[in-house]
Amino acid sequence: MNILGVSCYYHDAAAAILRDGQLIAAAEEERFSRSKHDFGFPKLSIKFCLEQAGITGKELDYVVFYEKPFLKLDRILSSVLQTYPYSYRLFRESMVGWVLDKLWVASTLQAELGIPRNRILFCEHHLSHAASAFFCSPFEESAVLTIDGVGEWLTAASGVGRGTSIQLDRQMQFPHSLGLLYSAFTAFLGFEVNEGEYKVMGMAPYGTPRYVDKVWKLAKLNDDGSFSLDMSYFSFQYSTTRMFNERFIELFGEPRRPNLPFFTEAMGFPPYFGEMPSDFAEQCKANEYHADIAASIQRVTEDILIHITSHLQRQTGQKKLCIAGGVGLNSVANSRILRESGFEEIFIQPAAGDSGAALGAILWGYHSVLGKPRSFQLEHAYWGQQFSQGEICSFLRDENIAHQQMASEDALLDQVVERLRQGKVIGWHQGRFEWGPRALGNRSILADPRNPKMKDIVNAKIKFREPYRPFAPSVAVESASRYFKLDRMVDHHPLRYMLYVVPVKEEHYETLPAITHVDGTARVQTVFKEANPLYYALISRFGEATGVPVVLNTSFNLRGEPIVTTPANAYSTFSRSEMDSLVLGNFLVDKDK
């Protein structure tokens, strides 16, 4: 039985395909269309999923869409009526979208795939999120929390999953949304909403949370484990262009201008920004204020999540928790939930945001609608497209690119380790690309984490990167506890997907300066041999050569572009940056040759 899942028309469009309960493929549309956060109908990811399964659209047994369009229309109409006439523009813009695409999604799916209407199912948005985590977790029973910007009506839902059913009996409704609160500050800090949230998280450790009292004027905790926003500070309920209003600005000051370079007095002026501005001290002051705001909203977000999750833990009595929805990508908050909520084990799948709901939709269809037993656990994130050595070789020959073909995996690893030790920055393109927003060793830029200058070197070579862009350590799982402070690192599933931020042991700050964040933490990826044998072998080989089985991993893309998909994307990124070497499968391309 083949089931296709689709999510689109809001944030990140994606498709995923399940055969007899086993995941075959899952990919976000932006990787194929090359349009960052592409939310349109995911024609190309659907095509990829069908090819990977070796079937045509007509051979699908079911297609499941990740939300219920009419419920969402109901929410938009209601919030428009409540806030009319401010909301006229939201109404007009939403209606254009709804009439053209969203309400007719069933017809589009029918036309594109050639399957009958009665084979198309619709799963509620938060249930899709919940299913995306619980049904591929190793848990037979657990609490489930979904939390995001907004789905149809809901902004958060929680309950318990047991076997093949999920009951979400507690819910929070628009406009009271933790995702939208965080996004309002993302916009205030000059970043793009739904894109710059990780930058707020990265900026926070450069500041002090000295404005939490002000942020708490916007939100309050309720005794039932929920929270509410004071809507008099926001405009997202009636505007498509502004998240917050004048009252918010009175409280926090003028918003930070977009694209301003970020530096503070403590970190100094990064050399890769060019010449130091004459008003350096003044800019530092402004940046420090904004870093304090980032630290404050991050702290309040975490406190709200601790409030929600501790309440959920007490109410359900469960020891395990599945988290999904965009807020689940806040790896700093996830680690605090692990430490403080009373839950002992957490599962989050790597595409925790809206794209991942395509996976949830199929799992819901298979288990909850069709009643099929569970037989699948997600152990890794490598569900995208891969390219054969033959395809890579043809590409390099057709484009006349000088390269070396390695005779064996051993030879390849030796060459790469040697370059890493020489301080070179390497584009690493291997196997199937990752599901979700993080590069986890198949579409990664790699470097030596022991070099204290490496952050600046990578930032200078990969142009225009902000200093709070994460440089994460990928560590062979058996060695993780040597460097990082967390018990039983092998058992924590979110570490496979860089979804926890953990303290680096003080005695290793000097061992791993390039991946230790300003507050002494790191967004660790534990690498398992079974999940990614080649990447594991590379890290181990680097460990044999240096005594430190850790590499610096950052995503293989330039600023504002999706992570690379094809060898051609990788080569183009390599050429437009100052990366030293590019590895495509068994082929090595050096820039200086």
Which residues sit at the interface with Fe ion, rule CB under 5 A?
A: 148, 354
Q: Where are the beta strands (DSSP E) in 135-289?
A: 141-147, 154-162, 165-173, 219-221, 227-229
C-alpha span between 193 and 234 (Å, rounded): 14
CB 49 within 8 A of CB 17: yes
Q: Which is nearer to Fe ion, 497 or 542 (CB)?
A: 497
Question: What amino acid is encoded at 531 in this protein?
Answer: A
The answer to whether the CB of 306 falls within 8 A of the CB of 341 is yes
- For tokens 């794209």, what's the residue? 355
Residue located via tokens 């930032």: 459
Q: How far is the CB of 129 from Fe ion (least distance, A)?
A: 6
> Closest distance between Fe ion and the C-beta of residue 125, in Å?
6
Contacts (Cβ under 8 Å, ≥6 apart) of 565: 31, 32, 34, 384, 385, 433, 443
- Crossing angle for the helix pair 567-576 and 389-398, nearest 10 degrees? 50
CA distance 477 to 465: 29
Between CA 481 and CA 158 the distance in angstroms is 32
Residue with Cβ nearer Fe ion (27 or 515): 27
Of 375, 364, 421, 367, nearest to 541 by C-alpha is: 421
Of 148 and 466, the one with the shorter C-beta distance to Fe ion is: 148
Q: How far apart are alpha carbons 78 and 237 in whole angstroms? A: 10
Least distance from C-beta 329 to Fe ion, angstroms? 11
Contact criterion met (CB below 8 Å) for 155 and 174:
yes
**Strands 120-122 and 227-229, how do they pair?**
unpaired
Give, for 531, the enclosing helix (H) or strand (E).
none
Q: What are phi and psi of 429, to 5 degrees?
A: -125, 110
Whole-number Å distance between alpha carbons of 303 and 297:
10
Minimal CB distance residue for Fe ion = 148
Amino acid at 276: M
E strands within 39-90?
62-65
How many helices (DSSP H) and strands (DSSP E) are in the chain? 19, 22
Within its chain, how far is the Cα of 571 from the centroid? 24
Residue-level length of the chain: 593
Residue pair 14/28 in contact (Cβ under 8 Å)? The answer is yes
Nearer Cβ to Fe ion (207/325) = 325
